[in-house]
A = this chain, B = another copy of it.
Amino acid sequence: MQLHDYRNLYRDNLLDDVIPFWLNHSGDAQFGGYFTCLDQAGAVYDTDKFVWLQGRQVWCFSMLYNRVEQKPEWLDFAVQGAEFLKKWGRDAGGNWYFSLTREGQPLTQPYNIFSDCFAAMGFGQLHRAIGDPEYGAIAVDTFHRILARKEAPKGIYNKAYPGTRPLKSFALPMILCNLVLELEHLLEPELVETTIASGIHAVMDEFYQPEFGLILENIAPDGSFSDSFEGRLINPGHGLEAMWFVMDMAQRKGDQALIEKAVDLTLKILEYGWDRQYGGIFYFLDVKGNPPQQLEWDQKLWWVHIETIISLLKGYLHTGDERCWEWFEKVHQYTWAHFPDPEHGEWFAYLNRQGEVLLPLKGGKWKGCFHIPRGLFQCWKTLEAIAEKRVNQLLPS
Protein backbone atom coordinates (compact mmCIF):
# COMPACT_ATOMS: atom_id res chain seq x y z
CA MET A 1 0.00 0.00 0.00
CA GLN A 2 1.13 3.54 -0.80
CA LEU A 3 1.02 6.37 1.71
CA HIS A 4 -2.11 7.85 0.15
CA ASP A 5 -3.83 4.44 0.28
CA TYR A 6 -3.23 4.32 4.01
CA ARG A 7 -4.46 7.87 4.42
CA ASN A 8 -7.62 7.17 2.43
CA LEU A 9 -8.29 4.01 4.39
CA TYR A 10 -8.12 5.71 7.79
CA ARG A 11 -10.09 8.74 6.59
CA ASP A 12 -12.79 6.79 4.78
CA ASN A 13 -13.24 4.29 7.59
CA LEU A 14 -13.78 7.22 9.96
CA LEU A 15 -16.15 9.25 7.81
CA ASP A 16 -18.02 6.57 5.87
CA ASP A 17 -18.25 3.78 8.41
CA VAL A 18 -17.47 4.49 12.06
CA ILE A 19 -19.11 7.87 12.49
CA PRO A 20 -22.30 6.92 10.61
CA PHE A 21 -22.49 3.76 12.77
CA TRP A 22 -22.65 5.81 15.97
CA LEU A 23 -24.89 8.48 14.47
CA ASN A 24 -27.35 5.84 13.31
CA HIS A 25 -27.39 3.57 16.33
CA SER A 26 -26.37 5.34 19.52
CA GLY A 27 -28.60 8.38 19.93
CA ASP A 28 -31.32 8.21 22.56
CA ALA A 29 -33.98 10.44 21.02
CA GLN A 30 -36.27 10.02 24.01
CA PHE A 31 -34.04 10.78 27.00
CA GLY A 32 -30.92 12.25 25.41
CA GLY A 33 -27.36 11.03 25.66
CA TYR A 34 -26.05 7.92 23.95
CA PHE A 35 -26.55 4.20 24.08
CA THR A 36 -23.17 2.53 24.04
CA CYS A 37 -24.15 -1.11 24.50
CA LEU A 38 -24.54 -1.95 20.82
CA ASP A 39 -24.39 -5.45 19.38
CA GLN A 40 -22.63 -6.44 16.19
CA ALA A 41 -25.33 -4.92 14.00
CA GLY A 42 -25.70 -1.82 16.17
CA ALA A 43 -28.85 -2.85 18.06
CA VAL A 44 -29.06 -1.64 21.66
CA TYR A 45 -28.75 -4.57 24.10
CA ASP A 46 -28.51 -2.55 27.30
CA THR A 47 -29.59 1.01 28.04
CA ASP A 48 -27.37 1.96 31.00
CA LYS A 49 -25.33 5.09 30.41
CA PHE A 50 -21.71 5.11 31.50
CA VAL A 51 -20.67 8.67 32.19
CA TRP A 52 -17.14 8.41 30.85
CA LEU A 53 -18.42 6.99 27.57
CA GLN A 54 -21.01 9.79 27.38
CA GLY A 55 -18.26 12.38 27.89
CA ARG A 56 -16.04 10.72 25.32
CA GLN A 57 -18.77 10.74 22.71
CA VAL A 58 -19.50 14.43 23.34
CA TRP A 59 -15.80 14.99 22.81
CA CYS A 60 -15.70 12.92 19.64
CA PHE A 61 -18.50 14.71 17.79
CA SER A 62 -17.29 18.13 19.00
CA MET A 63 -13.78 17.32 17.80
CA LEU A 64 -15.05 16.26 14.38
CA TYR A 65 -17.00 19.50 14.15
CA ASN A 66 -13.97 21.53 15.20
CA ARG A 67 -11.34 19.75 13.14
CA VAL A 68 -12.99 18.03 10.17
CA GLU A 69 -16.10 19.89 9.09
CA GLN A 70 -18.70 22.11 10.75
CA LYS A 71 -21.58 19.73 10.16
CA PRO A 72 -24.65 20.76 12.15
CA GLU A 73 -25.66 17.13 12.72
CA TRP A 74 -22.32 16.47 14.44
CA LEU A 75 -22.69 19.51 16.66
CA ASP A 76 -26.30 18.72 17.51
CA PHE A 77 -25.33 15.18 18.42
CA ALA A 78 -22.61 16.48 20.76
CA VAL A 79 -24.87 19.08 22.34
CA GLN A 80 -27.67 16.66 23.15
CA GLY A 81 -25.14 14.39 24.90
CA ALA A 82 -23.71 17.35 26.83
CA GLU A 83 -27.18 18.48 27.89
CA PHE A 84 -27.95 15.00 29.21
CA LEU A 85 -24.69 14.97 31.16
CA LYS A 86 -25.19 18.52 32.45
CA LYS A 87 -28.63 17.63 33.77
CA TRP A 88 -27.95 14.19 35.27
CA GLY A 89 -24.24 13.48 35.41
CA ARG A 90 -23.07 15.00 38.73
CA ASP A 91 -23.72 14.56 42.41
CA ALA A 92 -24.35 17.53 44.71
CA GLY A 93 -20.59 17.99 45.17
CA GLY A 94 -19.98 18.30 41.43
CA ASN A 95 -18.39 14.87 41.05
CA TRP A 96 -19.38 12.75 38.08
CA TYR A 97 -21.27 9.51 38.65
CA PHE A 98 -19.87 6.40 37.04
CA SER A 99 -23.16 5.30 35.50
CA LEU A 100 -26.76 6.37 35.08
CA THR A 101 -29.95 4.69 34.00
CA ARG A 102 -31.26 5.44 30.55
CA GLU A 103 -33.44 8.16 32.08
CA GLY A 104 -30.51 9.70 33.99
CA GLN A 105 -30.96 8.37 37.52
CA PRO A 106 -27.64 7.67 39.25
CA LEU A 107 -26.68 3.98 39.31
CA THR A 108 -23.03 3.99 40.39
CA GLN A 109 -21.39 6.49 42.72
CA PRO A 110 -18.60 8.84 41.59
CA TYR A 111 -15.84 6.43 42.57
CA ASN A 112 -14.01 6.64 39.26
CA ILE A 113 -12.14 9.84 38.49
CA PHE A 114 -11.97 8.95 34.80
CA SER A 115 -15.65 9.82 34.54
CA ASP A 116 -14.60 13.35 35.54
CA CYS A 117 -11.66 13.35 33.13
CA PHE A 118 -13.77 12.49 30.11
CA ALA A 119 -16.60 14.80 31.12
CA ALA A 120 -14.09 17.65 31.29
CA MET A 121 -12.67 16.61 27.92
CA GLY A 122 -16.12 16.52 26.32
CA PHE A 123 -17.25 19.88 27.66
CA GLY A 124 -13.89 21.47 26.85
CA GLN A 125 -14.00 20.38 23.23
CA LEU A 126 -17.65 21.38 22.87
CA HIS A 127 -16.81 24.79 24.30
CA ARG A 128 -14.28 25.21 21.48
CA ALA A 129 -17.14 24.61 19.05
CA ILE A 130 -19.78 26.95 20.38
CA GLY A 131 -18.21 28.97 23.18
CA ASP A 132 -21.13 28.54 25.58
CA PRO A 133 -19.60 29.80 28.85
CA GLU A 134 -21.56 27.22 30.86
CA TYR A 135 -19.84 24.37 29.01
CA GLY A 136 -16.49 26.02 29.61
CA ALA A 137 -17.23 26.46 33.29
CA ILE A 138 -18.19 22.80 33.68
CA ALA A 139 -14.94 21.74 32.03
CA VAL A 140 -12.78 24.05 34.15
CA ASP A 141 -14.58 23.28 37.39
CA THR A 142 -14.27 19.55 36.74
CA PHE A 143 -10.58 19.91 35.90
CA HIS A 144 -9.89 21.66 39.21
CA ARG A 145 -11.81 19.00 41.09
CA ILE A 146 -9.71 16.32 39.40
CA LEU A 147 -6.53 18.09 40.51
CA ALA A 148 -7.92 18.35 44.04
CA ARG A 149 -8.76 14.61 44.13
CA LYS A 150 -5.52 13.60 42.41
CA GLU A 151 -3.79 12.18 45.46
CA ALA A 152 -6.77 10.06 46.53
CA PRO A 153 -8.82 9.59 43.37
CA LYS A 154 -10.98 6.75 44.69
CA GLY A 155 -11.91 8.70 47.81
CA ILE A 156 -14.05 6.74 50.26
CA TYR A 157 -14.30 3.84 47.81
CA ASN A 158 -10.61 3.01 48.16
CA LYS A 159 -10.33 -0.48 49.61
CA ALA A 160 -6.58 -0.32 50.27
CA TYR A 161 -5.69 -0.19 53.95
CA PRO A 162 -3.97 3.15 54.48
CA GLY A 163 -0.22 3.10 54.77
CA THR A 164 0.65 -0.56 54.34
CA ARG A 165 1.54 -0.44 50.68
CA PRO A 166 0.81 2.96 49.22
CA LEU A 167 0.99 3.00 45.43
CA LYS A 168 0.43 5.62 42.78
CA SER A 169 -1.11 4.76 39.44
CA PHE A 170 -0.06 5.65 35.94
CA ALA A 171 -3.50 6.17 34.42
CA LEU A 172 -4.32 9.56 35.93
CA PRO A 173 -1.05 11.42 35.23
CA MET A 174 -1.15 9.91 31.74
CA ILE A 175 -4.65 11.16 31.03
CA LEU A 176 -3.88 14.57 32.53
CA CYS A 177 -1.16 14.97 29.88
CA ASN A 178 -3.80 14.74 27.20
CA LEU A 179 -6.56 16.54 29.08
CA VAL A 180 -4.53 19.65 29.78
CA LEU A 181 -3.90 20.15 26.06
CA GLU A 182 -7.61 19.65 25.42
CA LEU A 183 -8.48 22.39 27.93
CA GLU A 184 -5.59 24.71 27.12
CA HIS A 185 -7.93 27.43 25.81
CA LEU A 186 -9.78 27.50 29.13
CA LEU A 187 -6.97 27.30 31.69
CA GLU A 188 -4.43 29.74 33.08
CA PRO A 189 -1.23 29.39 31.01
CA GLU A 190 0.80 28.77 34.15
CA LEU A 191 -1.45 25.88 35.19
CA VAL A 192 -1.11 24.42 31.70
CA GLU A 193 2.68 24.61 31.88
CA THR A 194 2.99 23.11 35.34
CA THR A 195 0.54 20.34 34.51
CA ILE A 196 2.45 19.50 31.34
CA ALA A 197 5.76 19.53 33.17
CA SER A 198 4.52 17.31 35.95
CA GLY A 199 2.80 14.98 33.47
CA ILE A 200 5.98 14.51 31.43
CA HIS A 201 7.96 14.01 34.62
CA ALA A 202 5.51 11.39 35.92
CA VAL A 203 5.40 9.40 32.69
CA MET A 204 9.04 9.60 31.60
CA ASP A 205 10.92 9.82 34.91
CA GLU A 206 8.70 8.02 37.41
CA PHE A 207 6.53 5.35 35.77
CA TYR A 208 9.12 4.64 33.11
CA GLN A 209 11.63 2.44 34.86
CA PRO A 210 14.96 2.11 33.06
CA GLU A 211 15.65 -1.12 34.96
CA PHE A 212 12.92 -2.79 32.89
CA GLY A 213 12.86 -0.41 29.92
CA LEU A 214 9.09 -0.27 30.41
CA ILE A 215 6.33 1.81 31.94
CA LEU A 216 4.83 0.35 35.12
CA GLU A 217 1.16 0.76 36.00
CA ASN A 218 1.78 1.29 39.73
CA ILE A 219 4.81 2.45 41.69
CA ALA A 220 5.63 3.30 45.28
CA PRO A 221 5.28 6.97 46.28
CA ASP A 222 9.07 7.40 46.14
CA GLY A 223 9.06 6.02 42.60
CA SER A 224 10.51 2.65 43.49
CA PHE A 225 9.34 -0.72 42.19
CA SER A 226 6.76 -2.57 44.27
CA ASP A 227 7.15 -6.33 43.97
CA SER A 228 3.41 -7.01 44.18
CA PHE A 229 0.65 -7.90 41.71
CA GLU A 230 -0.08 -4.20 41.19
CA GLY A 231 3.57 -3.21 41.08
CA ARG A 232 4.54 -5.86 38.55
CA LEU A 233 1.68 -5.03 36.22
CA ILE A 234 2.42 -3.91 32.67
CA ASN A 235 -0.37 -2.66 30.41
CA PRO A 236 1.46 -2.25 27.10
CA GLY A 237 -1.42 -0.38 25.48
CA HIS A 238 -1.41 2.22 28.24
CA GLY A 239 2.28 2.90 27.80
CA LEU A 240 1.99 2.97 24.02
CA GLU A 241 -0.94 5.39 24.16
CA ALA A 242 0.93 7.67 26.55
CA MET A 243 3.79 7.95 24.10
CA TRP A 244 1.79 9.96 21.57
CA PHE A 245 0.51 12.20 24.37
CA VAL A 246 4.15 12.81 25.25
CA MET A 247 5.07 13.40 21.59
CA ASP A 248 2.24 15.97 21.33
CA MET A 249 3.53 17.79 24.41
CA ALA A 250 7.12 17.57 23.20
CA GLN A 251 6.17 18.89 19.77
CA ARG A 252 4.34 21.80 21.41
CA LYS A 253 7.48 22.85 23.24
CA GLY A 254 9.85 21.88 20.42
CA ASP A 255 11.69 19.26 22.46
CA GLN A 256 13.11 16.86 19.87
CA ALA A 257 15.09 14.89 22.46
CA LEU A 258 11.88 14.11 24.32
CA ILE A 259 10.24 12.99 21.08
CA GLU A 260 13.14 10.67 20.44
CA LYS A 261 12.89 9.26 23.94
CA ALA A 262 9.19 8.64 23.42
CA VAL A 263 9.87 6.91 20.10
CA ASP A 264 12.50 4.75 21.71
CA LEU A 265 10.07 3.76 24.45
CA THR A 266 7.28 3.08 21.96
CA LEU A 267 9.49 0.54 20.22
CA LYS A 268 10.64 -1.03 23.49
CA ILE A 269 7.11 -1.46 24.85
CA LEU A 270 5.90 -2.83 21.54
CA GLU A 271 8.74 -5.35 21.28
CA TYR A 272 7.86 -6.46 24.79
CA GLY A 273 4.09 -6.54 24.41
CA TRP A 274 3.86 -8.15 20.96
CA ASP A 275 2.58 -11.73 20.87
CA ARG A 276 5.16 -13.53 18.74
CA GLN A 277 3.00 -16.61 18.46
CA TYR A 278 -0.34 -15.21 17.29
CA GLY A 279 0.40 -11.54 16.59
CA GLY A 280 -1.24 -8.59 18.27
CA ILE A 281 -0.41 -6.88 21.55
CA PHE A 282 -1.16 -8.47 24.91
CA TYR A 283 -3.52 -6.68 27.28
CA PHE A 284 -1.60 -7.30 30.53
CA LEU A 285 1.76 -8.78 31.46
CA ASP A 286 3.71 -9.24 34.69
CA VAL A 287 7.09 -7.59 34.44
CA LYS A 288 8.74 -10.51 36.22
CA GLY A 289 7.01 -13.06 34.01
CA ASN A 290 4.65 -14.30 36.71
CA PRO A 291 1.02 -15.07 36.00
CA PRO A 292 -0.87 -11.76 36.05
CA GLN A 293 -4.04 -11.45 38.12
CA GLN A 294 -6.04 -10.36 35.08
CA LEU A 295 -7.68 -13.38 33.46
CA GLU A 296 -8.06 -11.37 30.25
CA TRP A 297 -4.30 -10.82 30.03
CA ASP A 298 -3.81 -12.47 26.62
CA GLN A 299 -6.72 -10.80 24.83
CA LYS A 300 -6.26 -8.37 21.98
CA LEU A 301 -8.15 -5.10 22.47
CA TRP A 302 -9.25 -2.52 19.94
CA TRP A 303 -7.91 0.52 21.78
CA VAL A 304 -4.48 -0.98 22.39
CA HIS A 305 -3.95 -1.49 18.67
CA ILE A 306 -5.26 1.80 17.35
CA GLU A 307 -3.37 3.78 20.02
CA THR A 308 -0.17 1.96 19.10
CA ILE A 309 -0.63 2.83 15.45
CA ILE A 310 -0.98 6.52 16.36
CA SER A 311 2.27 6.48 18.33
CA LEU A 312 4.12 4.69 15.53
CA LEU A 313 2.92 7.14 12.88
CA LYS A 314 3.67 10.20 15.03
CA GLY A 315 7.04 8.72 15.86
CA TYR A 316 7.79 8.24 12.18
CA LEU A 317 6.54 11.73 11.33
CA HIS A 318 8.75 13.41 13.92
CA THR A 319 11.91 11.31 13.58
CA GLY A 320 11.79 9.43 10.26
CA ASP A 321 12.87 6.34 12.19
CA GLU A 322 12.31 3.45 9.78
CA ARG A 323 11.63 1.07 12.65
CA CYS A 324 8.45 3.06 13.31
CA TRP A 325 7.30 2.59 9.75
CA GLU A 326 8.11 -1.12 9.74
CA TRP A 327 6.24 -1.67 13.00
CA PHE A 328 3.40 0.52 11.73
CA GLU A 329 2.95 -1.78 8.74
CA LYS A 330 3.01 -4.86 10.95
CA VAL A 331 0.55 -3.54 13.53
CA HIS A 332 -1.63 -2.03 10.80
CA GLN A 333 -1.83 -5.39 9.04
CA TYR A 334 -2.79 -7.29 12.19
CA THR A 335 -5.29 -4.62 13.20
CA TRP A 336 -7.11 -4.32 9.91
CA ALA A 337 -7.19 -8.07 9.40
CA HIS A 338 -8.90 -8.62 12.75
CA PHE A 339 -10.81 -5.67 14.19
CA PRO A 340 -12.98 -3.96 11.55
CA ASP A 341 -16.27 -5.76 10.89
CA PRO A 342 -16.81 -6.04 7.13
CA GLU A 343 -20.43 -7.09 7.63
CA HIS A 344 -21.91 -4.42 9.91
CA GLY A 345 -19.19 -1.81 10.09
CA GLU A 346 -17.28 -0.35 13.06
CA TRP A 347 -14.69 -2.45 14.90
CA PHE A 348 -14.85 -5.44 17.15
CA ALA A 349 -13.50 -4.73 20.61
CA TYR A 350 -12.31 -7.95 22.18
CA LEU A 351 -10.44 -10.74 20.42
CA ASN A 352 -9.03 -13.82 22.06
CA ARG A 353 -5.32 -14.50 21.90
CA GLN A 354 -5.73 -16.32 18.59
CA GLY A 355 -7.40 -13.26 17.08
CA GLU A 356 -10.95 -14.61 16.99
CA VAL A 357 -13.83 -12.37 18.07
CA LEU A 358 -14.44 -13.01 21.77
CA LEU A 359 -17.51 -10.82 22.20
CA PRO A 360 -19.36 -9.61 19.10
CA LEU A 361 -20.25 -6.21 20.58
CA LYS A 362 -19.47 -2.85 18.99
CA GLY A 363 -19.88 -1.04 22.26
CA GLY A 364 -20.48 -1.85 25.91
CA LYS A 365 -19.51 -0.71 29.36
CA TRP A 366 -15.94 0.07 28.34
CA LYS A 367 -16.07 0.67 24.57
CA GLY A 368 -17.92 3.62 23.15
CA CYS A 369 -17.41 6.13 20.40
CA PHE A 370 -13.89 7.22 21.24
CA HIS A 371 -10.65 5.34 20.61
CA ILE A 372 -11.49 4.19 17.09
CA PRO A 373 -12.71 7.54 15.70
CA ARG A 374 -10.00 9.50 17.55
CA GLY A 375 -7.39 7.07 16.31
CA LEU A 376 -8.63 7.08 12.72
CA PHE A 377 -8.59 10.88 12.78
CA GLN A 378 -5.10 11.05 14.29
CA CYS A 379 -3.73 8.53 11.78
CA TRP A 380 -5.38 10.24 8.82
CA LYS A 381 -3.91 13.61 9.81
CA THR A 382 -0.51 12.18 10.66
CA LEU A 383 -0.35 10.33 7.34
CA GLU A 384 -1.17 13.65 5.62
CA ALA A 385 1.63 15.35 7.52
CA ILE A 386 4.02 12.57 6.55
CA ALA A 387 3.04 13.04 2.89
CA GLU A 388 3.64 16.76 3.17
CA LYS A 389 7.05 16.22 4.73
CA ARG A 390 7.92 13.84 1.91
CA VAL A 391 6.89 16.40 -0.67
CA ASN A 392 9.15 18.88 1.08
CA GLN A 393 11.86 16.19 1.17
CA LEU A 394 11.99 16.27 4.96
CA LEU A 395 11.29 12.53 5.01
CA PRO A 396 12.51 9.93 2.50
CA SER A 397 9.83 8.63 0.12
Q: Give A contacts to B, CB under 8 Å.
A: 37, 39, 45-46, 48, 97-98, 101, 105-109, 111, 156-157, 159-161, 164-165, 228-229, 288, 290-293, 295-299, 350, 352-353, 358-361, 364-365
Q: Is the CB of A358 within 8 A of B159?
A: no
How far, in whole Å, are A109 and B157 apart by their CA atoms in the complex? 10
Q: How far is the CB of A126 from chain B (nearest CB, A)?
A: 26
How far, in whole Å, are A39 and B396 apart by their CA atoms in the complex? 50
Nearest residue in B to A286 (C-beta to C-beta)? Answer: B45
Kindly report how many copies of this chain are found in the complex they form together. 2
- Given contacts A97-B161, A359-B295, is CB(A352)–CB(B350) below 8 Å? no
B-chain residues with CB within 8 Å of residue A365 when the two chains form the complex = 229, 293
Beyond A37-B290, A156-B156, A296-B296, 18 additional pairs, beta carbon < 8 A: A39-B290, A45-B288, A46-B229, A46-B290, A48-B228, A97-B161, A101-B164, A106-B161, A107-B161, A107-B165, A108-B161, A109-B160, A111-B159, A229-B365, A291-B359, A291-B364, A295-B359, A297-B359
Q: How far is the CB of A13 from chain B (nearest CB, A)?
A: 23
B-chain residues with CB within 8 Å of residue A288 when the two chains form the complex = 45
Q: Which one of B156, B160, B293, B353 contacts A352 once the chains associate, using CB atoms below 8 Å?
A: B353
- A contact patch SS: loop
Nearest residue in B to A360 (C-beta to C-beta)? Answer: B291
How far, in whole Å, are A98 and B164 apart by their CA atoms in the complex? 13
What are 13 A-B residue pairs whose CB atoms fall within 8 Å in the complex?
A46-B228, A46-B290, A98-B159, A106-B161, A108-B159, A108-B161, A109-B161, A111-B159, A156-B156, A291-B364, A293-B365, A295-B358, A352-B353
Q: How far is the CB of A110 from chain B (nearest CB, A)?
A: 9
How far, in whole Å, are A297 and B361 apart by their CA atoms in the complex? 14
B-chain residues with CB within 8 Å of residue A107 when the two chains form the complex = 160-161, 164-165
